[in-house]
């Protein structure tokens, strides 16, 4: 059953759009993003808050799409942008730097989606944040660093980028 989600779209030029977007299914966003392959359409229909206007927003023009709890946000100076220790979430723990020098960490699905798709879902580090989930548009990322990986409760953080496997990937020691 479709669900209406609160979203805040941050455009590459700095414009911020607040509105609603229909997603394919109900449930917690983090569960939704981690349980199946989800691709966003090239044009996102966003119904602007306090308006009868629905805009078709090009995905490639965005820095990121934030699925939020409220439109007011929470102006917390202590909001965590990184994990203090390895996150207790299955997936790949990454640090991102955007083209505008903003940095954040999060957990993404351990699939090839973040390589092949135009963007990827990122679970943010702060559970008290207004952001429930982010969709990061890859052309807005200037640096991408893998910090660790967790699968079924086992965390790996010792990545050796100078030791390659036979298939060209890096080895986890």
For residue range 25-69, what is the model confidence (pLDDT) as tens digits?
656 665 556 655 567 889 999 999 989 999 999 999 999 999 999
Residue 75 has pLDDT above 70, yes or no: no
Q: Taking CA 70 as the corner, what is the angle to CA 117 and CA 35, rounded to the nearest 5 degrees?
A: 35
123-135 mean pLDDT: 85
Q: Which has the minimum average pLDDT: 28-42, 57-71, 72-86, 130-144?
A: 72-86
- The DSSP line for the chain is --EEEEEEEEETTS-EEEEEEEES--S-HHHHHHHS-----SEEEEEETTSS-EEEEEGGGEEEEEEES-SS----TT--SS-SS--SSSEEEEEEEETTS-EEEEEE-SSTHHHHSSEEEEB-S-TTSSEEEEEEEGGGEEEEEEEEEEETTEEE--EEEEEE-TTSPEEE-
pLDDT at site 46 = 95
129, pLDDT greater than 90? no
Residue 102's pLDDT band, with cuts at 50, 70 and 90, is: very high
Residue 153, pLDDT score: 58
- Say what the pTM is: 0.79
Q: Residue 160 pLDDT more than 80?
A: no
Which pLDDT score, from 0 to 100, does residue 78 have? 54
Q: What is the mean pLDDT of residues 82-103?
A: 77
Looking at per-residue pLDDT, the higher value among 152 and 112 belongs to 112
Say whether pLDDT at 164 is over 90.
no
- Mean pLDDT for the chain overall: 78
């Amino acid at each position: 059953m479709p669900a209406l989600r609160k979203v805040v779209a941050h455009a590459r030029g700095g414009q911020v759009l607040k509105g609603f977007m229909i997603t394919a299914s109900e449930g917690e966003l983090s569960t939704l993003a981690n349980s199946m392959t989800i691709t966003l359409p090239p044009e996102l229909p966003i119904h602007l808050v306090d308006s009868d206007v629905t805009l078709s927003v090009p995905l490639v023009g965005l820095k990121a799409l934030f699925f939020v709890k409220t439109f007011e946000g929470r102006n917390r100076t202590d909001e965590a942008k990184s994990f203090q220790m390895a996150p207790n979430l299955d997936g790949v723990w990454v640090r991102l730097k955007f083209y505008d020098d903003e940095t954040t960490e999060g957990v993404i699905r351990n699939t090839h989606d973040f390589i092949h798709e135009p963007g990827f879902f990122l679970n943010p580090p702060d559970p008290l944040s207004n952001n429930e989930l982010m969709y990061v548009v890859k052309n807005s990322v200037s640096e991408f660093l893998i910090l660790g990986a967790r699968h079924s409760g086992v965390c790996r953080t010792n990545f050796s980028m100078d030791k390659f496997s036979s298939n060209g990937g890096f080895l986890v020691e």
